[in-house]
Structure 1
Amino acid sequence: MPGAESDCAHEGRVAGRSELRRASRAFVRKRQSCYHYRRQYFRLWIRVRSPGRDDRNGVQVAALRFLRRAAPCTGRRCSPSEGKVAFDSPRRPGLSIKLLCIVVGVSLLGVSASSFLMLTLQRQELIASAEAASARLSRTIGTAMAHAMLSNDWTIIDTIVQNVADGETVDRVRILDPQGVARVSSSPSEVGTRFDRSGPVCQSCHAAGNVPGAYSAVTTLGGHEELLTISPLRNEAACQECHTSEGKILGYLLIETPLRDLQRQLQAGFWRMALVALGTLVLLVGLMLYALRRLVTQPVGELARGLAEIGAGNLDCDVRVQSHDELGRLAGSFRQMCSQLRSSLAESERRSAELAMLNEVAVAAGQLLDLQEVLDLALDIVVNRLGMHAGLIYLRDPETGRYAMRATRGATPEQCAEINRRREQPEYDIPQQVVASGRALYVPRMAMDRRHDGIWGQEERRSYVNVPLKSKGAVVGSLGLVGRVDQTVTEEQVRVLEAVGHEIGIAIDNALLVAATRRGEYEATALYKLGVRISASLDLQQVLEAVAEGARDVLGAEAGLVGLLSPERQQVEIKAAAGAGAEGFRGQWLPLGKGQPGEALLRREPIVAGRLGLQPFGEPVGGEGVVTFLAVPLERANNLRGLVAVAARAPRRFTAEDVHLLNRLAQQVAVAIENAQLYQSVRRLAVLEERERLAREMHDNLAQSLGYLNLKASVTDWLLENHRLDEARASLRELREVSMSAYRDVRESIFSLRTAATPGQGFLPTLREYLEEYRTHYGVNAELEVAGAGLTDLPTDMGVQVTRIVQEALTNVRKHAGTDRAWVRLVRSADGLEIVVEDRGRGFDLDQATAEGRQCFGLDVMRERAAGVGGELTIESRPGEGTRVRVWVPLAIER
């Protein structure tokens, strides 16, 4: 402790009890700021609690409590011959004062509690008496006003209220009707006022809920306490013979009684009780203090005076206690401990410093999760605690496989650079040798080891130690320490450093595990978000752009690329690029099997390029500045579909973890890319099928109509040339009818296409819209009927095909049925949907039409559409009985 030696004068033993007591108090005053004392006390406690001494633990622990009042405060260990040290310090409360405070406090608490209880009981009795008097007054007033209340004689009631309120025992009287409105009050301003439960008056009784019947409560109104009594005025059975029997409650009587007299009585009783309590307290304290002094404080004082010499550093002193009880046995135990303390003080001081350093490192290892923070703090603790000149920590670099310098203290950049330069030679690589052997390297004089020549200066007067950092039996790094000039590192300190290295190794292992976990969480989250994003779209280009952006983000690269294989050209074309400088890759080709990149891709191996001066895509990308490149094959069902790649401008060593992560990304997105490609193919196929259908319909309907028109026009021209005007006019009328029919067919085809391709609508809204326009354009009343629960919508492709089937059936109704009414029924079943289109027209013989090989009004087209969505189509028709087209499509497949 700074300045302690100037305050302490070791003078040997000083005679006299008064001086001994003064020195003991001085040591008590100093113990809080004495680091030497705290270490000594801690080691003394460990010594006392050592195995084999359990029979004296209780006595020794009690002795320790006295010893800590007399620990030496000079910052060093005092020998028994140095005597005691005297200080001038203010007095502190002793055991007698503490016992006096306890006795007085307990007695005062007991007397106060008893007085408070008696006052509370007296107050309750007085309040109960006031409540009884107020209740009697309420009954008397209620009896006097019952007849007036029934007769509505409010003058008499007001007179009674005023007479009662004029007395000294009542402050205020109110009469409330059953609705809570004041009909009569001793305060005229309250008449007509409504009192509800939220008001301060009513809350006195209703704060805890409804209160039936008469009730009294003490409340504070107008700044002073009042006794509020409420009594219901009832229509008694005796009064119902002359008066109305309706209503049991005529009103409520509220009486406020002041409690001023009660307070005066309580105050008078309080002072009498306080005087009695004070006398009792003085007598009780005096008796207890006398007993404690004879039985406790005097023996303890004798023991404290004897222990003061032990506190002064004289461990050979004799503690004199006259009693033969526990205090006497405690004094004997102290004499035994003095001999043990002398041999353990030096060892405890040294071990406490080592344990403190080890504990600080362990605490830091448990609280920090960032690797660099762990290294910096651990190095600070070790260097500062041991007073070393410099410290260095080496960890394995996953990219190079060598142990690199990760944290330094006390070493200049030039010294670090020189160490790294020398480590390029294996015989100078001390950290690599320590890690390989797993044992500490200790050099008492650095001048003896040529590997340190010229780095630290004065190597002949410095020592060096390098210990492995271990975790779970594996070496994760090494710790190197350089001592100060003329500082000696002992073998014991090397063993402590090995233990510290184990703690640091565990902290490094935990930090690496946390970093790997966080990286894994980030990668999993990024892959999940990418999967959600690409699953939400079937547009191939959007999916490819999202994959390129996801690859760039997950691997932290400047550019992300996605290429697709062209089977015809046997080349991979970059279809999507994301990131700065990535547009130059778009449209580039990578031939399979040509050059190292093409051969690696053909073998389904990753492509890793350190520089792209001759980049894998044939021609260099001008001005892009890309120097590192990583690509993995994009596979699906063992078939090469393309590649996913990332590129960086700065030099970067892609690790096996990077390749694995990019492979995971490629495997995850391969299905989405294939789905987008299939969807694109399906859309092209659907367009081709629709074109084929339109061509067939135009050939079957429009082409035949136009051919007939051409023939009929030739006939009409011949009739006109032969001046057969009547026949020519008839032929022209027929031409007009056929042309109008062809016009309607073309218009209906356009109308059907537009209706089925309405974007953003479901199946039912589209069908209802078509039927409405069908009725408007063709004058055929087509009614829609929906039966069965759970029919909300159909998948897009199925909805389009079902709508087309309904349109074709209604077209046949318009052309061939010869009726102005039709029905479209939708029936939902457990596993499918049935669509029925029915009319009551002329009908036809289906068997005869099929046998004759006629076109059957587009029935083949409808069957093809139904089969395309996994359904079935049946037709029922008879001449003169109409036609029924029945279609069933499955819904369980779509679910």
Structure 2
Amino acid sequence: MLDAVISIAHGATVPEILDRVAGAACALTGAPEGVVLRAGAAPPSAGDALVVPIEVRGERFGEVRLTGKEFTEADAELVRTLLTAAGGSIGNAALFEQSEQRERWLRASHDVTSALLAGEDPEATLRLIAERARQVAGATAGGIARPGSDPADGTVLVFEVVEPPGPDADRLTGLTVPADGTATGMAFTSGEPVVVRRYGDHVTAQQAGTGVDLPPVVGDLDSAVAVPLRVGGESLGVLVVAKLRDEVPFTDTEVRLALTFGAHAALAMEFARAEQDRQRLAVLEDRDRIARDLHDLVVQRLFAIALGLESTGLLLDEPRVAERLRRFVDDLDATITEVRNSIFALQQPAEGLRSRIARACAEAAGSLGFEPRVGFTGAVDAAVPSAVEADLFATLREALSNVARHSKATKVSVTVAVDGRGDGLRLTVVDNGIGLPAETTRRSGLANLAARAERWRGTSVVRGEPDRGTTLDWVIRLPEVR
């Protein structure tokens, strides 16, 4: 017994000490097989077994389970004596283990905070949160679910990040779970950590009938903890880490540490979001200042130059010179219109309709071989309701596609205009290509343009002559915005 106690005391870590306890118990009782299980671990199936609990500082730490022979009360007493002597070593090792765990979680929190405050990509930072939590917790899988919305079911949670990366993670990324009736949803709504066993079975049952192809590893997940990423009264999401079956379940201490880590990560996420808002506001202020300078300085000077040239043209007796000056004045008028459009665009939200139309035209450059020229007139962002936008974008893409396929053009101009009353929209697409042939049949693409216009009490007219280019005029009535 003395030799057994001395050998146990030399262990440095909890697993090493527990292995020595199992070996010493087998040696003292003559048991062929023995194992030490920590609290919460599922015992292996076996016949007759001698089971002796391990108490550390008045709490159940685990149990010694011996099998392979018929045990007597004397065997049990020997094991109890061994555990009494080894309790101090087990308790000290457990305290050291908890201290190391706390240090690992703190380092993980520091890594996440540093990444967020350094301005790294938010998606990459979410992955870092899941990765570090999985590693520190000794888990098999980790993930972060963020709130979404399902028109049929209301609030859902969407797993935006799943760790570790790979084919299985790709199949699980985007997985949705309801906010009601799931461990993830409970953590999100309650703001408290939720610990669950046989996690894989719960996930499989919940996703049954949804058509989601779950990887086989999901069914093997057992001990899991879901902790809220919460700042004040707002839940930003949920961090979930899970272990495979037969692995040591999460302890109360690990759950508390994971909850603290989640709180730190959420605070850093909120700070990073506030910093992004501050930077976005600074950009908007710069855009507003640039718009004012363009209006107050550039436009006024261009307008004055145009007036001066126009007045000079009236004084000239040479018709050819006067005509050239008139063309220069027209070019300046067009430039003033473009600058004013740019000013208006600078004063609009970054994702306004103008910006999205400009982006759609820029994307068409790949098929056209050049980027279309884009112009706007009127309150395009404010007057065009979302119900019209789908047909507007479909018409624009169809028109640019027709230019790319049929016109052989080298220039295209796109103009989107809303009239002064705000109840009419005109899309004009002009190219310098080969134009329409003298005899042409009504192509399905042109029929689609007309059908979309008729839906809004409008018309779609395509004009062109051979080698003179083509013009599309798509004019509709805008519904009243309510």
TM-score, with structure 1 as normaliser: 0.30
Q: Relative to structure 2, which stretch is displaced further, 524-533 or 388-397?
A: 388-397
The answer to whether 1:585 aligns with 2:197 is no
Q: State how far apart, in whole Å, the 1-side matches of 2:289 and 2:174 are.
A: 37
Shift in alpha-carbon separation, 1:657–1:375, aligned structure 2, 3 A = closer
Deviations 1:782-826 (A, max 9, x none): xxxxxxxxxxxxxxxxxxxxxxxxxxxxxxxxxxxxxxxxxxxxx
Q: 3-state SS of the aligned residue for 1:417?
A: coil
CA deviation profile, 1:710-742 (whole Å, cap 9, x unmatched): 32233223222599x9xx9xxx8xx99xx9xx9
Is the 2:116–2:122 Cα contact (8 Å) retained in structure 1? no
Please state if 1:678 is matched with 2:274. Answer: yes
Give the corresponding residue for 2:472: none
Superposition pairs of residues 622-637 of structure 1, within 5 angstroms: 622-623=214-215, 625-627=217-219, 628=221, 630-637=225-232
Q: Does 1:547 align with 2:126?
A: no
Which residue identity is paired with 1:693? Answer: R
Aligned position for 1:364: 7
Q: Secondary structure at the match of 1:431?
A: strand
Counterpart AA for 1:633: P
Per-residue CA shift, 1:470-528, capped at 9, x if unaligned?
Answer: 6656776468799999xxx998x998876544213333333433433433333333333
User: In 1, are the aligned partners of 2:9 and 2:86 still within 8 Å (CA)?
Assistant: no
Partners of 2:216 and 2:79 in 1: how far apart? 52
Tell me which amino acid in the other structure corresponds to 2:309.
Answer: A
1:507 maps to which of 86, 89, 104: 89
Equivalent residues of 1:557, 1:646 under 8 A apart: yes
| Corresponding residue of 1:613 | 204
Q: Among 47, 70, 75, which residue is 1:418 paired with? A: 47
SS in 1 for 2:139: coil
Structure 1 residues 572 and 676: alpha-carbon distance in aligned structure 2, compared to 1, 3 A threshold: farther
Shift in CA distance, 717/672, structure 1 to aligned 2, threshold 3 Å: same
Within the candidate set 29, 33, 39, 1:398 is matched to 39
**1:267 equivalent in structure 2:** none
* Distance in 2 between residues matched to 1:606 and 1:367, nearest whole Å: 37
Tell me, which stretches of 5 or more residues in structure 1 are unaligned?
1-356, 406-415, 421-429, 436-468, 747-895
8 Å contact kept, 2:37–2:64: no
Shift of 1:361: 3.0
User: Aligned partners of 1:508, 1:669: CA distance in 2, in Å?
Assistant: 33
Confirm whether residue 719 of structure 1 aligns to residue 315 of structure 2.
yes
In structure 1, the partner of 2:468 is: none
Deviations 1:755-802, CA, capped at 9 Å, x for gaps: xxxxxxxxxxxxxxxxxxxxxxxxxxxxxxxxxxxxxxxxxxxxxxxx
Structure 2: segments with no counterpart, 5+ residues: 340-482
* Cα RMSD (Å): 4.8
For residues 55 and 177 of structure 2, the distance between their equivalents in structure 1, rounded to whole angstroms, comes to: 48
Which residue is equivalent to 1:70? none
User: With CA pairs under 8 Å and 6+ residues apart, which has the higher RCO, 1 or 2?
Assistant: 2
**Superposition deviation, residue 367 in structure 1:** 1.9
Post-superposition shift, 1:635? 0.9
- Identity over aligned residues, as a percent? 24
- The CA deviation string for residues 371-407 of structure 1, in whole angstroms up to 9 with x for no partner, is 45445555666766x7x5437767553225x8x58xx
Residue 577 of structure 1 aligns with an amino acid whose one-letter code is V
Aligned equivalents of 2:65, 2:204: Cα separation in 1: 42
Structure 2 Cα separation of the partners of residues 572 and 557 of structure 1: 21
The separation in 2 between residues aligned to 1:473 and 1:594, in whole angstroms, is 36
Distance in 2, matches of 1:662 and 1:656, equals 10
- SS of match in other structure, 1:582: helix
Q: Select which of 169, 185, 191 maps to 1:604.
A: 191
CA distance in 1, matches of 2:288, 2:270: 27
Task: Tell me the CA shift for residue 637 of structure 1.
Answer: 1.7
Tell me, in whole angstroms, the C-alpha distance in 2 between the residues paired with 1:498 and 1:516.
Answer: 25
Aligned residue runs from structure 1 range 175-194, under 5 A: none
1:448-487 correspondence to structure 2 within 5 Å: 477=63
Matches within 5 A, 1:258-407: 357-358=1-2, 360-371=3-14, 373-374=16-17, 377=20, 389-390=30-31, 395=36, 397-400=38-41, 404=43
- Aligned partner of residue 418 in structure 1, secondary structure: coil
CA deviation profile, 1:54-95 (whole Å, cap 9, x unmatched): xxxxxxxxxxxxxxxxxxxxxxxxxxxxxxxxxxxxxxxxxx
Q: CA deviation at 1:583?
A: 2.4
SS in structure 1 of the partner of residue 119 of structure 2: coil
1:640 aligned to which of 218, 221, 235: 235
2:262 maps to 666
Paired AA for residue 39 in structure 2: P
* Cα distance between partner residues in 1 of 2:111 and 2:132: 9
| CA 615–514 in structure 1, closer or farther in 2 if over 3 Å, else same | same
Task: Give, as a single letter, the amino acid of the residue that structure 2 aligns with 1:678.
Answer: A
**Aligned residue number for residue 93 of structure 1:** none
Spell out the pairing of 1:432-831 with structure 2 (5 A cutoff): 477=63, 499-565=81-147, 570-579=155-164, 580=166, 581-590=168-177, 592-593=179-180, 597-598=184-185, 601-606=188-193, 608=196, 609-611=199-201, 612-615=203-206, 620-623=212-215, 625-627=217-219, 628=221, 630-647=225-242, 653-720=249-316
The structure carrying a bigger strand percent of its residues is 2
**CA distance 1:711–1:541, change in 2 (3 Å):** same
Answer yes or no: is the 8 Å Cα contact 2:25–2:34 preserved in 1.
Answer: no
How far off is 1:703 after superposition? 1.5
The residue number in structure 2 matching 1:819 is none
Deviation readout 1:629-685 (Å, 9 max, x if unpaired): 643221112111122223556576555444333322211111221222223333333
Question: In the alignment, is the contact (CA less than 8 A) between 1:562 and 1:643 conserved in 2?
Answer: yes
Greater Rg by CA: 1
Partner of 1:161: none
